[in-house]
Amino acid sequence: MVPSFRKFVGMVVLVVFVIVYALVAMVIGDMTLQQSSTLVRVIYFAIAGLVWVIPAGAIIWWMEKGGKRQS
């Protein structure tokens, strides 16, 4: 795959992933933690706010992997 096209596809996938992840995490947190204490909600949203970095890093790694030529 051409590196510039790979970066374009990766960018689109990354934007869609972040939007969908944020909406899903918000709905799950809202539906399951309505009766929980504020501390539990803060912990959930703090963890949910950091977990997206792992798959986003994998997408970015995939985008950059194609830019380097094998010798």
Using 50, 70 and 90 to split pLDDT, how confident is the model at 65? confident
Look at the pTM and tell me if it is higher than 0.75. yes
pLDDT in tens, 35-61: 999 999 999 999 999 999 999 999 999
Can you give the pLDDT at residue 70?
55
Residue pair 18/56 in contact (Cβ under 8 Å)? The answer is: yes
pLDDT digits (tens, 9 = 90+) for 20-35: 999 999 999 999 999 9
> Whole-angstrom Cα distance, residue 21 to residue 2?
28
